[in-house]
Structure 1
Amino acid sequence: MKQYLDKFYYWYFIVHIPITLLIDSTIVIPDEYQLWIQKLIVSFHIETNKDILLIESPLWFKVFGLFELVVQLPIFVIGSIFLRNKDERITPVMMIYGFNAFFTTLVCLIWVIAEGDNFGLTRAEIYNLVLIYVPYLIIPLVMMIDNLIRNIKVFNKIEITKKNQ
């Protein structure tokens, strides 16, 4: 099971690199510095899904976006390299990333649900937007729990080794 999850995490990180660079970076990059392709993709997403987070971009959301660029993007690159090389030293980082991504997505979902009506979204549009973000809630949660369990097993092995010495 572990090898399947690691392969999934690898592709999750690989896919997130262009998503972060092309879409999520627009949260913090001013319009005049965005590439035409970024503007096109984000405009399409906003028109199609009425993503009020990208329309409004509250300050807390911009902070999340900045954190994604500065902290998570390097994790996507480094994590994909470590996972490709089957290097388990990445598990503590993946556990922390999983928590951060789960938590920030949860905050976004709560805000969309709480504020969607105030921005003129119908219940169906709110649910659609929630469904778009749910995988970014569930996958990091699974990653966090899976890597927490892996780290606990490693620490238990270390404890057993120490006791046997």
Structure 2
Amino acid sequence: MIVGSHNARTASRVKKVTSSSSNQADLFQQLVDPPPPDLDLDINLELLGALNTSLRMARQHGMTRERVVDRMNALLPGAKKITLRQLNSWTAVSQEYKEFPARYLPAFCAATECDLPLRALAQPLCLDLVDAREADTLRLGHLRLEAARLAREQQALTRHLERS
């Protein structure tokens, strides 16, 4: 699950707005208006870094690149087999026109047991990944808020009926 977030990047935009504004009314209007979207959403280097970091972390847990390829192929039974050469090409900085195919990203993340590449995709859009437990916790919080609202409404209605 991906949810919106005010991350450090958004906070720095607010700080920039507050430090550069001399007119109080303008400041409040700028804080209310959403910041202009970043025009450069090219995440090639960030994604490449996340892919390589995932591979390094997998290696630290005893998983070779060959094993990552094997796991990816097992997770993509209907797809064309991925080779070690392809993985190396997709993750090499020197391969300017060899980009990692998005269709293989979920299998890569599952194979390496690392979600950094998915986070690299979400971050420029000011989104965060939320795992199933966090999503359930969020849902539970919403349900508790709703239950409290309904309890207040029930109490108010009960008081109203007792007066009548």
Query: Does the pair score TM above 0.5?
Result: no
TM-score (norm 2): 0.30
Highest CA radius of gyration, 1 or 2?
A: 2
Q: Relative contact order (alpha carbons < 8 A, sep ≥ 6): 1 or 2 greater?
A: 2
